[in-house]
């Protein structure tokens, strides 16, 4: 794999990840762009002990443009996009409308004595999986999936070394039902200046399990139990297992986990990286086959924090959809949005059965 760095017209970083060593990436960004926006605000919510990002500049971000105006397509002729090259394999670049960035911003010290405010320092990046606008992750080759994984590993290490970054989160949103603003197949990476609420909750549970068992790893023990039970396992190979959690929150939710406990994507060895693509592509195609239509989904990589509690983590990918039937979506209404208590309409065992048969 060949890695080539450059700067866009407004100073943002872009990195090409090419599968050919002879790829030439010397095309400059010929656009005239305004400076990137300053960092957002982070406001502390004392009622939940959580930080909330206020990023007002994101109101003007690009929203579902027609295909001939997609900013993630290659630049061809006078049609200039975020990627200066006329073709590419995998590209990562700083988001033009970031929720978090490394650019300084003036912020008040507090809104009230209970609500401190600080700059939303961190980083948001876009990961383009292919130059083909009409493709999807499920249509990629195993070789391309491996390239994507290499890019995510590269960025996890680089972003984790930025001052103040505490967690790196790689994810993909797919489908207008999920809320995507661009149709081109792509993912995102957020580098947070704090450990996120979901991860803090999972780490606390893992810590309690370690203390109870005298050193056990909660996720590894849970994965072993699911593999032994077998009822909710959808797919498996020598290095990975894809299973529906017994307490799944979403109608169709699958965890894809390496059988060997590792804290993050960079810790995967070559065999694990090679084995991920074929299994994951099979799973995505099963998702699309459930209702014979493209399945909206979120694919969220759970990685250990950068600096703390890494021994408690176990890398896994959480893939889930809000579609519960061909003509029905799962909405987060009163119980879920108001109280954070999920009610699942599809039994996890039935979901696993349907996915195995898809």
> What is the DSSP secondary structure assignment for residue 54, as one 8-state letter?
E
- 186 catalytic? Reply is yes
Task: Note whether 185 and 136 are within 8 A (CB).
Answer: yes
Task: Note whether 62 and 182 are within 8 A (CB).
Answer: yes
Residue 221 CA neighbour count, 13 Å, CB half: 12
Q: CA torsion sign, 20 to 21 to 27 to 28? A: positive
Q: CA torsion sign, 287 to 289 to 293 to 294? A: positive
Q: CA torsion sign, 225 to 228 to 232 to 235? A: positive
Distance of alpha carbon 28 from alpha carbon 36, whole angstroms: 18
Name every residue whose Cβ is closer than 8 Å to that of residue 136 and which is 6 or more positions away in sequence.
174, 185, 284, 294
CA torsion, ordered 8, 14, 20, 22, to nearest 10 deg: 40
Helix (H) or strand (E) holding 328: strand 328-329
Beta bridge partners of 252: 321
Helices (runs of H) and strands (runs of E) counted in the chain: 6, 17
Q: How many residues does the chain have?
A: 358
224, two tokens: 């072993």
Task: Note whether 48 and 59 are within 8 A (CB).
Answer: no
Residue of 133, 183, 184, 186 marked catalytic: 186
Task: Note whether 51 and 42 are within 8 A (CB).
Answer: yes
> What is the DSSP secondary structure assignment for residue 164, as one 8-state letter?
T
308, two tokens: 């703390």
The catalytic site residues sit at 186
């Amino acid at each position: 794999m060949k890695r080539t760095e450059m700067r866009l017209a407004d100073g943002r970083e872009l990195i090409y990840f090419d599968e050919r060593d002879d790829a030439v990436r010397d095309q400059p960004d010929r656009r005239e762009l305004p400076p990137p926006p300053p960092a957002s605000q982070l406001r502390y919510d004392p009622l939940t002990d959580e930080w909330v990002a206020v990023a007002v500049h994101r109101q003007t971000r690009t929203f579902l443009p027609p295909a001939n105006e997609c900013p993630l397509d290659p630049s061809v002729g006078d049609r200039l996009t975020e990627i200066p090259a006329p073709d590419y394999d995998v590209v990562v670049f700083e988001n033009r409308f970031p929720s978090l960035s490394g650019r300084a911003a003036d912020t008040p010290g507090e809104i009230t004595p209970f609500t401190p405010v600080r700059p939303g320092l961190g980083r948001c990046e876009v990961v383009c999986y292919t130059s083909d606008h009409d493709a999807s992750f499920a249509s990629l080759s195993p070789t391309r999936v491996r390239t994507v994984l290499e890019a995510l590993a590269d960025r996890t290490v680089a972003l984790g070394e930025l001052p103040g970054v505490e967690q790196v989160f790689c994810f993909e949103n797919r489908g207008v039902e999920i809320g995507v603003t661009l149709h081109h197949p792509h993912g995102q990476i957020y580098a947070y200046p704090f450990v996120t609420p979901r991860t803090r909750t999972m780490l606390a549970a893992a810590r309690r399990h370690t203390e109870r068992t005298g050193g056990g790893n909660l996720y590894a023990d849970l994965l072993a139990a699911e593999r032994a039970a077998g009822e909710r396992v959808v797919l498996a190979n020598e290095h990975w297992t894809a299973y529906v959690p017994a307490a799944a929150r979403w109608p169709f939710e699958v965890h894809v986990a390496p059988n060997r406990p590792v804290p993050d994507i960079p810790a995967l060895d070559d065999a694990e990286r090679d084995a991920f693509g074929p299994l994951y592509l099979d799973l995505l195609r099963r998702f699309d086959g459930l209702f014979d239509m493209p399945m909206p989904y979120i694919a969220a990589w759970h990685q250990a924090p950068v600096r703390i509690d890494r021994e408690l983590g176990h890398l896994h990918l959480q893939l889930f959809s809000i579609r519960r039937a061909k003509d029905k979506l799962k909405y987060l209404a009163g119980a879920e949005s108001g109280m954070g208590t999920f009610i699942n309409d599809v039994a996890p065992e039935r979901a696993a059965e349907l996915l195995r048969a898809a």
